[in-house]
Structure 1
């Protein structure tokens, strides 16, 4: 069910029966009367003008706002929380202040937060168990506390493959017993539903293979604690007279969250250039690099192009619930008609563009470095080359990044929309060959604070953030005027010209020889050309 943010119901245009936010033909109003002078009023219709106005200071202003929002809302900006809603409000207010008509698209999603837990055997032998090693609360478990709960083995005498899969398996279960079932035969949620319906106070599922059991119930709905344990522990707990204590602090429910969408109309509305970034953080931290950085960068670009009259409509999107499985972008695309999908000429994705131990990655549209797990639409290679053009002109090293399906480009790729974007690295370790090219430290993650409380404004690299923000501005402006390189739709060049470098003649693309050799410049690299210098 698609819902509108409650505070905005009176201000949003009515969404059609399909729920799609197509936006074509919306009008960008005049700037507020108080705006005057400099970048606020001029038409940034050349690369030089736009990149002069898209500044590190401007992007950082947005990051400071996201950090302040997280600080005031429990340390995070996760979808389904007050911190995320405040982030939506901030983006909406900034866009409206420069004249955009903003559409906020609501949707439901399964929210889950896991807090502290404890598990111990009271009898026959008192034993305390360690979370993550001896037991693991299942994703979407309900909360609760069980004191001296009697463990009741359920249908373990047979094959074990159907343990708890039928309501009849729980016949005779004493109320408030802790149901012990074995993995196999059906989904964990089925076992938990049957146990809860029979009056169990909690469910313990033990593995049928070696190792711990980290399971998921698939969606909210179970209201009692459900944990997984290894095989040996499950067999021990099946002993007669076993009682346990179990506490799980969790929130598991369906909540509302939102995408934010705004656009600058072009001369045509059937060749939309779309740029997106996910706005949500994980629950563990404020998400300033992941992905305040991409969100702030496209917001800064959007604020500085309001005077443009591009050939193609330029649409910006800030996605919700990306961290829960790319849910916002998938919902958005699923609500578009076939024609609305066809009207999107390309999609640019910017997810983590300021990693503190960064490398400079461009999504590998031509698959010269990686073979994507899904078919990459035709035209994606040319998006890669557009972004490479900028780094080539600046004398900045870069390399390919896999379309791995881990960010919001996925829904667009799956629907045949050419896609590309930038990335500066997450939990993977930096390689030795990259240090002479980008700086930083080998053997340390590109972002050591990835999905942690330390992903704060103090742990974003300003150099990476600034150069990537300019590359984003360049790609949005260039493609906003002309996508002929991507999809053959003729436009007109950006006033002042574009770089249009030859994709077969790249001097700053990292080579296989550099990767194999451990670092440094390639042997035949020309040191004499003037592209602004190699960034160390």
Structure 2
């Protein structure tokens, strides 16, 4: 998940806020059920097929009972089986599904194979991606070692490191954007190591500005005593950049002699997305549902984001390639999310203006089975004030429908989570495409109020194995997985047959 490879200097995802209360949570589902056909056995055949060839003919054959039947036909057991396969593939290929690895390629082939067997036309378009690896990272200040962490896509120092005086960049209490302006580096000695606080602008911007002002390197001081997994992304003109904790940063003094050694490698590689689309439905109004398929290099990534990938595959397999829908449904499994949302970004950038306009809505599912699960819906209209932004028109409808779907699946009081662009929906909302999605939480801690209504342990992270080797099958909350796959299916089905509330663009 891109949350760990944080691009911006601000704090990560902020959770909680106003609880989304739904007075009549199942109203939409009940209304659809009243028109539904009698349920059949689970599986693709239970959802019916359409003989329409798209456009108005397909739209006329849209079955309003499909959302209810799709939600009833999927479940956590099917998604769990897919998670077992993703675990097996990781174990057989170096322990992960990181970009550029055999494990990721094996996962692509598996997902594509399941989709083809389910009646989809499938493509695995390739894209170019810069990959990053880090070896040694050492910092010595005034002769004493200081724990440091390299930022992704930082240039390396010379093999023996670089030695220079520290230059603390002053900040007044009124300065809400430390290190984000060229003026913040005025008067810095040439060749110094700039020390700047974490703030609201991208880390790459800080490093670029410091380098332009003559800094040899940058140290970013975190706002808390924790690691700062972050990235400079593809920012030109950056210098070697690392981070230190808040306490370590507070001990640094202007002019102290420091030695920084960063051993890093940046390469250009090829990766792939997986794209599948129904043959039925209006090709001029496409509903896209996506999840990232890659993991971090540290482990198998079974929650992040095997859970979203497996749940989406269970839904696609059950829906089949020719369902009775009004809009085409396009399923996507993205590559290279963990190093900057690259697969989704390349996909959106590669679409013509006409094809972008054909995407009516994007739904994103990234971590849907966290072991200390929260039940969070992206705050598409920024009504919760969680630090994100309002999405394009129609994002509010996605939030409402997903919330209703969670409640119908048995979740009391889903809450909003900031619409801050830190997962694969980011490129879509930047392109003006409305979006929404579900999330069960990562590194932040569950509140007592959340534990009371959802269970789990207050004061502990939603996922203590986030981006670590223990993110394996034992790291999955099966109840959260079952509820989320059901809610996902209900919402995807609803928008596949009815785009009310999502305006044409």
TM over 0.5: yes
Mapped to 2, the partners of 1:448 and 1:455 lie a distance apart of: 9
Unpaired segments ≥5 residues, structure 1: 1-36, 165-179, 196-202, 239-243, 490-536
Displacement of 1:226 in angstroms is 7.3
Distance 1:216 1:466, change over 3 A: closer
How far off its partner does 1:366 sit?
4.0
Question: Which piece of structure 1 moves more, 359-368 or 91-100?
Answer: 359-368
* Contact 2:280/2:327 (<8 A) preserved: yes
Name which of 259, 273, 291 aligns with 2:273. Answer: 259
Match of 2:378 among 351, 354, 363: 363
Q: Give the match for residue 533 of structure 1.
A: none
Residue of structure 2 in register with 1:282 after alignment? 296
Residue 140 of structure 1: which of 131, 153, 165 is its match?
A: 153
- Does 2:427 align with 1:400? no
Distance in 2, matches of 1:324 and 1:101, equals: 28
Aligned with residue 205 of structure 1, among 208, 214, 217 = 217
Q: Which residue does 2:402 correspond to in 1?
A: 387
SS at 2:446 equivalent: coil
Task: Give, in angstroms, the shift of residue 103 of structure 1.
Answer: 1.4
Equivalent residue for 2:190, pick from 158, 163, 170: 163
- Rounded Cα–Cα distance in structure 2 between residues aligned with 1:364 and 1:309: 30
Distance 1:454 1:342 in 2: 41
Kept in 2: contact 1:361–1:424 (CA 8 A): yes
Q: Which residue is 1:42 aligned to?
A: 45
- Report how far residue 435 of structure 1 moved: 1.8
Write the distance in 2 (CA, Å) between the matches of 1:61 and 1:237: 55
Q: Once the 2 structures are TM-superposed, how far is the Cα of residue 344 of structure 1 from its aligned partner?
A: 0.8
Aligned to 1:9: none
Q: Tell me, what secondary structure is at the counterpart of 1:377?
A: coil
The structural deviation recorded for 1:92 is 1.2
Question: In the aligned structure 2, how far is the partner of 1:470 from the partner of 1:209?
Answer: 42
What is the total number of aligned residue pairs between the two structures? 413
Q: Which has the larger radius of gyration?
A: 1
Deviation at 1:396, TM superposition (A): 2.5
Residues of 2 paired with 1:259 and 1:79: CA distance? 11
Instruction: Identify the residue that residue 503 of structure 1 maps to in structure 2.
Output: none
Alignment of 1:443 onto 2:470: no
> 1:305-328 CA distances to partner (integer Å, 9 max, x unpaired)?
114131110000111122222222
| 2:85 pairs with 1:65 | yes
Q: Does the CA-based 8 Å contact 1:110-1:220 persist in structure 2?
A: no
2-side partners of 1:284 and 1:41: how far apart?
A: 36
Shift of 1:248: 4.9
1:487 aligned onto 2:487? no
- Identify the residue that residue 97 of structure 2 maps to in structure 1: 77
Partner of 2:113: 93
- Normalising by structure 2, we get a TM-score of 0.70
Q: Please give the alpha-carbon distance, in whole angstroms, between the structure 2 residues aligned to 1:431 and 1:482.
A: 36
Secondary structure (helix, strand or coil) at the match of 2:45 reads coil
Does the aligned pair in 1 maintain the 2:151–2:241 contact within 8 Å?
yes
> Aligned partners of 2:404 and 2:133: how far apart in 1?
43
SS at structure 2 position matched to 1:468: helix
The answer to which structure, 1 or 2, has the higher relative contact order (CA under 8 A, 6+ apart) is 2
Say if 2:132 is the partner of 1:112. Answer: yes
Structure 2 residue ranges without an equivalent (≥5)? 1-39, 49-65, 167-185, 197-204
CA 1:47–1:375: 2 relative to 1, 3 Å: closer
**Cα pair distance change 1:234/1:453, threshold 3 Å:** farther
Deviations 1:50-86 (A, max 9, x none): 2343122210111112112222233221222222222
Equivalent residues of 1:163, 1:183 under 8 A apart: no
| 2:362 maps to 1:347 | yes
Alignment of 1:296 onto 2:314: no
User: How far apart in 2 are the matches of 1:234 and 1:139?
Assistant: 26
**Alpha-carbon distance in 2 for matches of 1:270, 1:382:** 20
Are 1:458 and 2:485 an aligned pair? no
Specify the SS of the correspondent of 2:483: helix
SS of residue matched to 2:502:
helix
* CA separation of 1:144 and 1:71: change in aligned 2, threshold 3 A: farther
User: Is the alpha carbon distance of 1:220 and 1:42 closer, same or farther for their aligned partners in structure 2, counting shifts above 3 Å?
Assistant: same
Q: Aligned-pair distance for 1:399?
A: 2.0
* Aligned-pair CA distance for 1:130: 3.5
